[in-house]
A and B are shown apart, each in its own frame.
Chain A
């Protein structure tokens, strides 16, 4: 049992060691620019990736400012798509599953926004459809993918590919959660720093 656990952890550590640090930095800059222009962040994925998206939204919209909820009234506007199950099932049932993200996204998307697409294979057709819509409108795309990065990694402006053998969902999704938490922590520290500075005059 311990051997299994150790070998799993070693696998995760190896992949963690190869994270595309520069691309994560680019993603942070994209989000920083969106904040400055008061835009919105739309995040989406299928299955486990949709769970990651939902988790990140709740962290990002509140945890980033949790030390300063009174001092910082302008916060992030991160939104998971589709925002309701009703919307998801309506698009899937009436139009087709490939439109569950692009459909709702088209309603909202402005040039001031950015998009975070999560797909372990990087090839889910519904994810690619939404990313293509964002690109047509020149909206920056942060692509969080796994395996060989797939089409998502080619299309994204910030190419966060967690490279593994095909099918290693457990490693890819776990590390995706780490990357998303890293982004949240960066902005939490950054706003803490700014607010401390402001208080010090």
Chain B
């Protein structure tokens, strides 16, 4: 049995500049940090059950991977040539999908790491990030970028730079425990209870990159400044940049925000938050706010009141801490068979 764990992430600024329509012309940059919420993928050989069994929100039992409905699993198994039956793959997660925390890419990184381990191969962080990006973008044709695969694979607080030649540079933002803890203490994360598919928002966004090229360039260029503010512990400055980034992002596609999301965000600001943004592609998912600590109670109750009046049954605060670990094989009891050392 092989168990792989991949963290979710909070992306601060630069999201969208990891799409090839942008970074092939101008280097894209994203700054993000992984959090203590994880996706787990479990892979187990089943010698007596001559099937492919996959378990996620539903269970599928098929004779050949090409019959699977789960797009990423189907593509990954076929691509790696795992077509001899007798394997089960299950996925588990601390949080549901579609929260804007990059969970589908975390799943993909964990899956490719696990399937390669099943084939007795070890992938580096960069190889796993690239393999997961290829799986999602080339094989499954998701209209997404590469930032989440890199964030989940490497782990920690990082700036990722996406170069026109398709190479990716990883620049860690080396925060000490005091800075990390201070940032955690001022951060509020709310699951809005509004769900959306990243691909539905990103699909439109991608076709309109040419129209908004200047905005993307500003977003990519704001990343080093945000990184400096993180290192300086300038929380209000960070919040202001999140706010500006969110205003820019709303102009990029029609589905990024909605009147309900806008009023949730504005309620947070009126209750005292310095700034924030909707995480991920937008259209729903999680709302991140930075707020002075004595005001957290006021922000929480104002947001919860509005959510209740708006009928958002799933609305909930999520407590988060940052983690340094990326995607890890936390258990592997398969014997290394053939590889000489």
Contact = CB atoms under 8 A, between A and B. Distances in A.
Given A112-B330, A133-B341, A194-B181, A33 B155 contact: yes
A29 B172 contact: yes
Contacts of B324: 29, 32-33, 36
Contacts of B172: 26, 29
B177 A33 contact: no
A137 B336 CA distance: 11
Contacts of B329: 111-112
Interface in A38-64: 38-39
A138 B128 CA distance: 11
Contacts of A25: 174
Interface residues of A, number: 25
Given A29-B156, A136-B341, A193-B181, A37 B124 contact: no
A197 interface: yes
Interface string A3-30: 0000000000000000000100110010
* Size category of the binding interface on chain B: 20 to 34
A66 interface: no
A189 B325 CA distance: 20
Most buried by B among A25, A36, A193: A36
Nearest to B127: A138
A39 B125 CA distance: 17
A189 B5 contact: no
B325 A37 contact: yes
Contacts of A83: none
Residue among A22, A39, A138, A190 with most chain B CB within 10 A: A138
B306 interface: no
B174 A29 contact: yes
A89 interface: no
B197 interface: no
Given A37-B328, A112-B328, A138 B122 contact: yes
A25 B124 CA distance: 21
Contacts of B181: 193-194, 197
B123 interface: yes
B215 interface: no
B140 interface: no
A190 B177 contact: yes
Contacts of A37: 5, 325, 328, 330
A110 interface: yes
A138 B123 contact: yes
Given A32-B324, A36-B325, A37-B325, A111 B174 contact: no
Contact of A106 (B122, B124, B341): B341
Contact of B328 (A22, A111, A194): A111
Contacts of B124: 138
Interface in B309-337: 323-326, 328-330, 332
B177 A193 contact: yes
B150 to A, nearest CB: 15
Contacts of A22: 174
A137 B174 contact: no
Given A106-B341, A111-B329, A197-B181, 18 more contacts: A26-B174, A29-B156, A29-B324, A33-B323, A33-B325, A34-B325, A36-B323, A37-B330, A38-B330, A39-B328, A111-B332, A112-B329, A138-B122, A138-B125, A186-B177, A190-B177, A194-B177, A194-B181
Interface of B: 5, 122-125, 155-156, 172, 174, 176-178, 181, 323-326, 328-330, 332, 341
Which 10 A-B pairs give the minimum distances between C-beta atoms? A190-B177, A33-B325, A25-B174, A33-B324, A32-B324, A36-B325, A111-B329, A37-B328, A138-B122, A37-B325
